[in-house]
Amino acid sequence: MDNICAIATPYGKGAIAVIRCSGPNSIDLVNNIFKGKDLTKVKGNIIVYGHIIKDNELIDEVMVSVFRSPRSYDGENSCEINCHGGVYITNLVLETLLNSGFRMAEPGEFTKRAFLNHKMDLTQAESVMDVVNAESKLAVKSSLNALSSNLYNLISSLREEILNILAQIEVNIDYPEYDDAIEVTHEYLIPKISDIKKKMENILANSQVSRIIINGIKTAIVGKPNVGKSTILNMLLGENKAIVSDIAGTTRDIVEGQVRLGDISLNLLDTAGIRDDSDYIESIGIKKAKETIEEADLILLVLDLSRELTTDDFKLLDLVKDKKYILIANKSDLEPKWQREDVLIISAKNNLGLVELQKKIYDVLKINEFNATNPSLNNIRQKQLMESSLKSLTEALNSCYNLVDISLIEIDIKEAFDKLGEIIGQAYPEELITALFTKFCLGK
């Protein structure tokens, strides 16, 4: 296997930069450009002071951490060089390493090697970047939970239950003469499959909140023209990012922004006002707004409290009825013309109602009910595989009720087993693994 290296700290000026090196000969190669204690003779998990040299010329004063296989991040011999953090000096040390026998690591290659060397499962590997990118306390907790093998253990437990069922079916089919074998009937399968199915549904339910906490809540601000959508966007962002005017149809495209509200991030989308209109350009914006509604995790439907509700308002209510949404009655600084019990009354112009809106978002998305210590699926890949596995189990269960031949039911159960295996990196295609780890930064 090749010896690889990469800068593991952010690019730019800083007190310290870390360059990670790994591979079967990595300690020897670093030792060749290191002046100080002989790195090849030191024990693992130790830090050594010295200098990086090139052609007998001193490059930098460094501290080198030495890790010996298998007690390292990726399970291979490795070193981490702590050098001064200037851009020039860091690149000079990196260049010296590349000229001494290392090659530049591909994105995510260190973590990929950790996975291939069985230092972590696929869910742990994916959670590494979740921890790095976490922007809230809850996001960190959820990511660390996956990193600590809790999700792996849960998925493995489900697979073990399914495997026991498959084993019993195989014994019945291949060795019917065994009197001690459990007879696998539809009545035997129904409670066992139902129990596993319920556990998977609970995981998916908890994962819905986990994913939006980690990735941010895609939030669409929708409403008729001139109800104050852009003013609400600016209120949430704390800046005048969207153009505000009294002219209907000012927003003709999607205006984006991100804001932190406590332990969550809102990825805000201020959409064009939705109405029946002949203006061609505005109609394109309206079409995009409707598409955004379909993709959003949360809808903030804005109504104008100072004007009577119209047919367009009720059309919007019907459009979002199957989504998670919050009704916002804006312009409370003006004389109200209607009232409803299910609306949040604010005045975006006077910056009133932000605290109440945050509480409402937490309630609608059940953020306060989320338990970050429960294992959850933190990305789309894991979620889709779990849903696919659940679908196969559901089909198997339905087949049991319909008294389908058990040898055919086994096919769906086996499919469920394989999909769960893909979540944790067992029974995986090589192309999938390569695609996943290219999303990582170089130093990981």
184-197: burial string, b at 16+ Cβ within 10 Å, e else: beeebbeebbeebb
Say what the pLDDT of residue 292 is. 76
If you average pLDDT over every residue of the chain, what do you get?
A: 84
Strand 4-7 with 103-104, pairing: parallel
Question: Which tokens go with 236?
Answer: 């949430």
What is the average pLDDT across 389-407? 96
Query: In this model, does residue 137 exceed pLDDT 90?
Result: no
Query: In this model, does residue 431 exceed pLDDT 60?
Result: no
Length of the chain: 444
Grouping H, G, I as helix, E, B as strand and the rest as coil, residue 395 is helix
What is the average pLDDT across 304-325? 88
Rounded to whole angstroms, the Cα distance separating 329 from 285 reads 23
- Confidence band of 244 (pLDDT split at 50, 70, 90): very low
Q: How far is CA 50 from the centre of its chain?
A: 40
Rounded to whole angstroms, the Cα distance separating 173 from 166 reads 11
- Confidence band of 433 (pLDDT split at 50, 70, 90): low
What is the average pLDDT across 25-35? 97
- Confidence band of 251 (pLDDT split at 50, 70, 90): very low
Say what the pLDDT of residue 245 is. 38
Query: In this model, does residue 190 exceed pLDDT 50?
Result: yes
Query: What percent of the chain is helix, strand and coil (3-state, nearest 5)?
Result: 45, 20, 35
- Confidence band of 193 (pLDDT split at 50, 70, 90): very high
Q: Which of 151-155, 263-267, 322-326 has the lowest mean pLDDT?
A: 263-267
What is the average pLDDT across 239-250? 42
Q: What percent of the chain has pLDDT over 70?
A: 85
Strand 16-22 with 34-36, pairing: unpaired
- Confidence band of 24 (pLDDT split at 50, 70, 90): very high
Query: In this model, does residue 188 exceed pLDDT 70?
Result: yes
Planar angle of CA 289, 242, 215, nearest 5 degrees: 65
Say what the pLDDT of residue 121 is. 86
Write the DSSP symbol of residue 53. Answer: E
Write the DSSP symbol of residue 338. Answer: -
Closest to 273 measured CA to CA, from 257, 255, 259, 298? 255
User: Residues with Cβ < 8 Å from 381, sequence gap 6 or more?
Assistant: 126, 436
Query: In this model, does residue 388 exceed pLDDT 90?
Result: yes
Query: In this model, does residue 65 exceed pLDDT 50?
Result: yes
Q: Which of 4-13, 34-43, 233-242 has the lowest mean pLDDT?
A: 233-242
Flag whether the pTM goes above 0.75: no
91-127 pLDDT tens trace: 999 999 999 999 999 999 999 999 999 898 888 888 8
Query: In this model, does residue 255 exceed pLDDT 70?
Result: no
Say what the pLDDT of residue 423 is. 92
Question: Which tokens go with 153?
Answer: 């253990």
φ/ψ bin of 270: left (φ > 0), alpha (ψ from -120 to 50), beta (otherwise) = beta
> Does 255 or 184 have the greater pLDDT score?
184
- Confidence band of 282 (pLDDT split at 50, 70, 90): very low
Instruction: For residue 220, give Cα distances in angstroms to 325, 352, 412.
Output: 9, 20, 38
Rounded to whole angstroms, the Cα distance separating 291 from 295 reads 7
What is the average pLDDT across 193-217? 87
